[in-house]
């Protein structure tokens, strides 16, 4: 679970101030070499993935949770050597009585 700040919401006023969203990210292993070598250079550096997500979500705003999820999926697929990615995006406190509401998407490298 990664908490990040971004501007998200359909009404303009909702995108005026960054808000916290929650991402659950699953990334497919590009190959099994790292399982044998136990070396970070043979796998995806998850710290770099999270840093890129934080950076891009500071730069962009989104009306829809779906668009944000697609943006993050494409970023991971295009910038890191992974065959697939699955992302759950949750926006806490969106409606009274709800802890969070969001979407899950999975994309494969073409």
Of 58, 91, 99, 109, which is the active-site residue?
Answer: 91
> Could you please report the per-residue DSSP string of 8-66?
E-SSGGGGSS-EEEEEEEEE--S-SHHHHH--GGGS--HHHHHHHHHHHHHH-EES-HH
- CA dist 55 and 85 (Å) reads 19
Tokens, residue 44? 């995806």
* 91 catalytically annotated: yes
Beta bridge partners of 101: 91
Which residues are part of the catalytic machinery? 91
């Amino acid at each position: 679970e990664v908490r990040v700040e971004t501007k998200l919401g359909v009404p303009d006023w909702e995108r005026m101030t960054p808000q916290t969203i929650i991402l659950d990210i699953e990334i497919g292993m590009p190959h099994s070499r790292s399982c044998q070598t136990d070396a970070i250079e043979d796998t995806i550096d998850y710290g770099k993935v999270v840093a890129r997500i934080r950076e891009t979500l500071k730069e962009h705003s989104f009306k829809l949770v779906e668009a944000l999820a697609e943006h993050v999926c494409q970023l991971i697929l295009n910038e890191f050597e992974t065959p697939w990615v699955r992302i759950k995006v949750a926006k806490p406190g969106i409606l009274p009585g709800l802890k969070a509401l969001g979407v899950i998407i999975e994309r494969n490298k073409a």
